[in-house]
Amino acid sequence: MAILGVDLGYGDTKLVTEDNKKAKFPSRWMPAESRNWGIGGNIPIISINDGETFVFGEDATGTNLREPQGDGRLTDPNAMQLLAGALWKSGIGKAAQKTDVILASGTQLTSFDKEIVAANELLEGKDLKIKSADGKEQKFHISKLIMRPQGVGAAIYLLNQGLLKKQYGNGVVIDIGFKTTDVLTLNLKNLEPIVEQSFSIQAGIGDVVSGISKAIGKETGFIVPADVARDSIGKKVTFKQSKIGGPEVSEPLLAELAQKIIDEMRENLREDLDRITELIPVGGGSVLIGDKLEDIAPGHMIKVPPEDMQFANVLGYNIAASENH
């Protein structure tokens, strides 16, 4: 029995195995011919249960991309290919036999109750045969699905690592994703979520990507695809024989995003801001703007190890699965 944690985000799909092997890839896929010409290396082209072949992650580029867009992460019509990609990439499959998998995952707090029912119906007990274009085949049986809300997954990880301390006051986990920023407030005395102080902000790194694309388009006159704009957040990249993007373009947009999150948190938490004793940014966006959020509760920022910042939720899902199977 293998445990695989999968955080199927709008921006990236993150996965963690039992032995703490971490990996991520962009949450996109596209149909592809089941042939590999070998010009650019060995690109995984796979199929599920002998269905259509596809590529996923960074190998999926162009106009025919499929990406999950709805609140239902695992139940989105475009999610199964990403889940298959995660299983394939994880290395837990065995060539000669079926692998039993406990799948550990999560979704937004606001849609959690609805999603867990639908995801269980769709995935628990499901058999998946994943086959690559070069004839390799792996079989998986999803024996159990264990889910926790986003933010709660991160809190489980933080508790496990001793980063959340029992004390008077509140701990606030800020999960900065691609489309949304999810805020989970915990009563640190009993380590229970405070639901009325937990909410989603409709802003994330995707706003920065969109802003970069518009800024470069205004300057150069050509449209920059989202995947190219996203890769240019931290460094200049070459596109259409031009160097584009980089920090000089992204920094003002990142500062704007951070300020929007700060303003909405102040508006939602109001007098409860004074009760914050631990402020913990996690998620992919925390790598880029986590430090900018300290103004919410100066002096109370808790730093997650850089290698775990993007994986905090899925690490927590794995811990929950290992304790509950």
Residue 254's pLDDT is what? 97
CA 167 to CA 152: how far, in whole Å?
A: 18
| Overall average pLDDT of the 278-302 stretch | 93
| Overall average pLDDT of the 141-159 stretch | 93
Which residues, at least 6 apart from 173, have a Cβ–Cβ distance to it below 8 Å?
A: 151, 154, 155, 158, 183, 184, 185, 186, 280, 282
Residue 96's pLDDT is what? 73
Q: Which residue has the tokens 């290395």?
A: 91
Parts of the chain belonging to CATH 3.30.420.40: 2-149, 165-303
Tell me which amino acid residue 273 is.
Answer: L
Residue 69's pLDDT is what? 74
3-state secondary structure of 301: strand
CA 35 to CA 21: how far, in whole Å?
A: 29
Tell me which amino acid residue 218 is.
Answer: K
Which residues, at least 6 apart from 115, have a Cβ–Cβ distance to it below 8 Å?
A: 71, 72, 73, 74, 75, 107, 108, 147
Mean per-residue pLDDT of the chain: 91
Residue 140's pLDDT is what? 97
CA 83 to CA 73: how far, in whole Å?
A: 10
- Token reading at 17: 């195995």
Query: What architecture is the 2-149 domain classified under in CATH?
Result: 2-Layer Sandwich (3.30)
Domain 165-303 part of CATH 3.40.50.970: no
Residue 73's pLDDT is what? 79
CB of 6 within 8 A of CB of 105?
yes
Residue 280's pLDDT is what? 94
The closest alpha carbon to 250, from 204, 212, 206, 220, belongs to 212
Is the predicted pLDDT of residue 174 greater than 60, yes or no? yes
Percent of the chain topping pLDDT 70:
96
Percent of the chain topping pLDDT 90:
66
- Token reading at 270: 């109001």
Q: What is the DSSP-derived secondary structure letter of residue 73?
A: T
- Token reading at 297: 């509760």
61-83 per-position pLDDT tens digit: 877 889 887 666 798 888 999 99
Residue 6 binned pLDDT confidence (cut-offs 50, 70, 90): very high
CA 247 to CA 212: how far, in whole Å?
A: 10
- pTM of structure: 0.89
| Overall average pLDDT of the 295-306 stretch | 93
Tell me which amino acid residue 162 is.
Answer: G
CA 245 to CA 318: how far, in whole Å?
A: 36
CA 186 to CA 109: how far, in whole Å?
A: 13
**245 torsion bin: left (phi>0), alpha (psi -120 to 50), beta (else):** left
CA 227 to CA 246: how far, in whole Å?
A: 14
12-59 per-position pLDDT tens digit: 999 999 888 999 999 999 998 866 565 555 788 999 999 999 999 999
Q: Which residue has the tokens 């995952």?
A: 105
Residue 227's pLDDT is what? 82
Q: Is the dihedral of CA 5, 29, 40, 236 positive or negative?
A: negative
- Token reading at 208: 């920065």
CA 293 to CA 313: how far, in whole Å?
A: 19
Q: How many residues does the chain have?
A: 325
| Overall average pLDDT of the 255-267 stretch | 97
Q: What is the DSSP-derived secondary structure letter of residue 241?
A: T
